[in-house]
C-alpha cells in the first residue's frame, strides 16, 4: 500500500441552494473496495436539542446504507480523525469523525462547516481506491440536530444541522463530489434539504454498480467456455472509471458452503489471460497472471459461503507472454470441501412444491473430503443425499439420477444401474430405484469409478438427483445447482 495523496473537500455554508443538478464523482471516481467501509461514530457529546452527536452520525450513515448500494460498517467507537495526519506520520487507515477548532492543525476557512480528508491508492485494476477518510466538524460554529430550514440563534448566528452536514460529508467519504446543478445533499452550499435526494442516491449507485454495465454469466463448478474479443466489457466500465480498457468476462459464483475454490484457465494458445476472483461487490481482489512463470494463470482461495465473481481478463497493451489480448478460453472451477455441498434451487417438473433439500459431491477418499476434480486414473465416488420433504416420507415413490455432459447430452440412470440416453417421449420421469421414501435418501451415483476405464481423460459433467411419488407419477422434485465432476 502506498499513500497517493490527500483530497480535501469542504462544505461551504449559505442559506440558499441552487437549482438543477446531477451527481459528480470525486476527482477520478475513486471508491472503496467492496462498496463498504467501517466508520467510527463514537463522537462524545450531545446536541442542544438532546440527541447525541453519535446517534446523529449513525442515523446519517444508516440513511446511506438504506438508500444506496454502499454500506457503512457502523462502529460505535471513537477514532480521532487527525490520528496519523502529523507531518511524517502514516495514515491509521481508520475512518474517524470528530470536532476540531482546526482541520488537524490547518485553520478552517471562515465559511467551512466540516471537512473530509481522504487518502487513496491505485488498485490492481488501475482505479483509485480509498484507504482512509476522516471528517472534522468545525467546532468554532454552532450545531444542533433538526430537520427543515436553517436556524439562526438569538445572536443572529447560524445554527447548523449536524446530521445533514454528516450526511453530506459521508457522501464525500463514499466518493461523491459537490454538484450544484440540481438540489442535493451534495450541493456545495448547505440548504434546507436534510435528507438524501434522488441524485445523491443515483450518484452512489452509478459509482458502485459498474458491474451492471457488463453482462454477467452465472457459473457453477466445472467448465465454462468463452472468449475475449472486441465488443466485450472493459475493466473501465466494470469499475465505473479508471484507465484500464482491457476486455473482461464476468462469471458469478454462488458458494453455499465454506470451500476452497480453485480457478484455472486454458486458452487457445493466443490469448494471454489474467484471472481475478473478487466478492460480488468487487472487493478483496485476488489476481493471477501466471505467477508460476508459465503465463498460465491459476487462483486458489478459501471462500466463506457467499456470492463471488470470477473475471477472465487480459492486458490493455501488448501482453507479456508474446500472446494476444483476444482469443478463446476454457475456465475450470473446482473446489474442495469437508462435506457434501448444499445444492441450491428447488425445481419440479409440474410446479409442485417440495421442502426437500439436496446435497452432493465427489470423493476420492471415501468421504473424508469432497471436491469435483479427479484425475483420469483416480478412483472416485459420486454421492447424493436428499432430505425428503416430511409430507412425502413413508410414501411409495422413486429416486432419479441424471447426467448432463458439457455438450448438453442428457443420460439417465435406469433401474439396472446403467446410464442411458434420456428419451422423454418414451419415459418422461427416469426412475433409478422404486422404494418407500425415508427421511434421508443416500444415492450412490458412482462407486470406485475410474474415468480412464471407459476411455475418458478429460470431461466436465453435471449430475442431478431427484425423487417423486407413485401417487403423482408425472411429478419430479429436484434441484438446479448440479453435482459437478471434473476429470482433468
Ligand atoms: Zn462538501
- At 300-340, the pLDDT tens digits run 999 999 999 999 999 887 777 778 889 999 999 999 999 99
Distance 107 CA to ligand 1 centre (A): 17
Q: How far apart are CA 116 and CA 176, in angstroms?
A: 11
> For position 426, which CATH number holds?
2.60.40
Q: How far apart are CA 330 and CA 193, in angstroms?
A: 53
Residues whose CB is less than 8 angstroms from the CB of residue 428 and which lie 6 or more positions away in sequence, other chains included: 349, 474
Q: Retrieve residue 93's grid coordinates.
A: 487507515
- 171 and 53: one domain? yes
Return the pLDDT at 180: 86
Answer yes or no: is 137 within a domain.
yes
Distance 211 CA to ligand 1 centre (A): 27
Distance 237 CA to ligand 1 centre (A): 26
Prediction pTM value: 0.80
- pLDDT tops 80 at residue 133: yes
- 54 and 142: one domain? yes
Distance 329 CA to ligand 1 centre (A): 46
Distance 239 CA to ligand 1 centre (A): 24
- 454 and 422: one domain? yes
- 329 and 349: one domain? no
Return the pLDDT at 379: 97
Angle at 285 between CA 327 and CA 331, to 5 degrees: 35
- 95 and 77: one domain? yes
Distance 118 CA to ligand 1 centre (A): 12
Q: How far apart are CA 221 and CA 43, in angstroms?
A: 47
> For position 191, which CATH number holds?
3.40.390.10
- 448 and 475: one domain? yes
- 51 and 85: one domain? yes
Distance 149 CA to ligand 1 centre (A): 18
Domain that holds residue 386: 341-487
Q: How far apart are CA 245 and CA 267, in angstroms?
A: 21
Of residues 100 and 28, the one with the higher pLDDT is: 100
Distance 185 CA to ligand 1 centre (A): 9
Question: Which of 260, 270, 328 is CA-nearest to residue 295?
Answer: 270
Distance 189 CA to ligand 1 centre (A): 8
Distance 281 CA to ligand 1 centre (A): 26
Distance 244 CA to ligand 1 centre (A): 28
Question: Which of 467, 465, 485, 464 is CA-nearest to residue 477?
Answer: 467
Greatest Cα pair distance, the chain, in angstroms, is 94
Among 108-112, 219-223, 405-409, where is mean pLDDT lowest?
108-112
- pLDDT tops 50 at residue 22: no
Distance 116 CA to ligand 1 centre (A): 8
- 138 and 183: one domain? yes
Distance 207 CA to ligand 1 centre (A): 17
Return the pLDDT at 397: 97
- pLDDT tops 70 at residue 2: no
Total count of domains within the chain:
3
What percentage of residues in the chain have a pLDDT greater than 90?
Answer: 64
Distance 10 CA to ligand 1 centre (A): 5
| Residue 317 DSSP label | S
pLDDT in tens, 385-442: 999 999 999 999 999 999 999 888 999 999 999 999 999 888 888 899 999 999 999 9
Among 49-63, 123-137, 190-204, 276-290, where is mean pLDDT lowest?
123-137
Last residue of a domain, one of 337, 369, 396: 337
- 57 and 188: one domain? yes
Q: How far apart are CA 347 and CA 480, in angstroms?
A: 6
Distance 278 CA to ligand 1 centre (A): 31
- 232 and 203: one domain? no
Q: Retrieve residue 129's grid coordinates.
A: 481506491
Arithmetic mean of pLDDT, 340-369 = 94
- 323 and 347: one domain? no
Distance 295 CA to ligand 1 centre (A): 46
Amino acid at each position: 500500500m502506498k499513500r497517493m495523496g490527500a483530497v480535501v473537500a469542504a462544505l461551504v455554508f449559505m442559506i440558499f441552494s441552487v437549482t438543477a443538478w446531477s451527481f459528480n464523482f470525486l476527482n477520478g471516481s475513486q471508491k472503496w473496495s467492496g462498496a463498504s467501509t467501517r466508520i467510527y461514530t463514537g463522537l462524545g457529546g450531545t446536541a442542544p436539542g438532546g440527541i447525541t452527536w453519535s446517534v446523529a452520525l449513525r442515523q446519517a450513515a444508516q440513511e446511506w446504507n438504506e438508500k444506496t448500494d454502499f454500506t457503512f460498517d457502523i462502529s460505535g467507537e471513537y477514532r480521532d480523525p487527525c490520528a496519523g495526519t502529523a507531518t511524517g506520520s502514516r495514515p491509521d487507515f481508520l475512518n474517524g469523525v470528530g470536532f476540531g477548532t482546526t482541520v488537524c492543525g490547518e485553520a478552517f476557512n471562515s465559511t467551512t462547516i466540516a471537512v473530509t480528508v481522504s487518502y487513496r491508492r491505485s488498485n490492481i485494476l488501475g482505479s483509485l481506491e480509498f484507504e482512509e477518510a476522516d471528517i472534522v466538524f468545525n467546532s468554532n460554529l454552532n450545531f444542533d440536530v433538526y430537520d427543515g430550514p436553517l436556524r439562526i440563534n438569538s445572536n443572529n448566528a447560524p445554527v447548523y444541522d449536524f446530521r445533514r452536514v454528516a450526511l453530506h460529508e459521508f457522501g464525500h467519504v463514499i466518493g461523491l463530489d459537490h454538484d450544484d446543478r440540481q438540489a442535493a445533499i451534495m450541493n456545495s452550499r448547505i440548504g434546507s434539504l436534510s435528507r438524501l435526494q434522488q441524485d445523491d442516491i443515483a450518484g452512489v449507485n452509478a459509482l458502485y454498480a459498474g458491474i451492471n454495465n457488463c453482462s454477467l454469466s452465472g457459473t457453477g463448478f466445472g467448465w465454462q467456455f468463452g472468449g475475449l474479443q472486441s465488443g466485450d466489457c472493459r475493466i473501465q466500465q466494470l469499475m465505473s472509471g479508471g484507465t484500464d480498457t482491457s476486455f473482461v468476462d464476468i462469471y458469478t459464483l454462488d458458494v453455499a458452503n465454506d470451500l476452497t475454490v480453485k480457478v484455472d484457465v486454458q486458452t487457445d494458445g493466443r490469448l494471454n489471460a489474467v484471472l481475478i476472483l473478487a466478492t460480488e461487490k468487487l472487493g478483496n481482489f485476488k489476481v493471477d497472471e501466471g505467477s508460476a512463470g508459465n503465463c498460465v494463470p491459476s487462483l486458489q482461495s478459501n471462500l466463506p459461503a457467499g456470492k463471488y465473481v470470477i473475471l477472465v481478463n487480459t492486458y490493455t497493451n501488448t501482453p507479456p507472454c508474446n500472446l494476444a489480448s483476444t482469443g478463446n478460453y476454457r475456465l475450470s472451477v473446482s473446489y474442495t470441501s469437508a462435506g457434501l455441498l448444499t445444492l441450491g434451487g428447488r425445481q419440479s417438473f409440474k410446479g409442485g412444491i417440495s421442502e426437500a433439500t439436496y446435497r452432493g459431491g465427489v470423493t476420492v477418499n471415501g468421504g473424508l473430503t469432497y471436491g469435483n476434480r479427479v484425475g483420469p486414473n483416480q478412483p472416485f465416488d459420486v454421492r447424493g443425499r436428499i432430505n425428503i420433504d416430511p409430507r412425502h416420507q413413508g410414501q411409495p415413490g422413486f429416486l432419479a439420477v441424471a447426467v448432463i455432459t458439457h455438450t448438453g447430452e442428457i443420460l439417465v440412470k435406469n433401474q439396472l444401474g446403467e446410464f442411458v440416453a434420456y428419451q422423454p417421449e418414451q419415459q418422461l420421469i427416469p426412475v433409478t430405484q422404486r422404494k418407500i421414501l425415508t427421511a434421508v435418501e443416500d444415492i450412490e451415483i458412482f462407486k470406485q469409478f475410474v474415468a480412464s476405464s471407459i476411455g475418458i481423460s478429460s470431461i466436465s459433467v453435471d449430475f442431478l438427483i431427484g425423487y417423486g411419488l407413485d401417487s403423482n407419477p408425472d411429478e419430479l422434485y429436484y434441484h438446479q445447482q448440479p453435482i459437478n465432476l471434473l476429470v482433468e
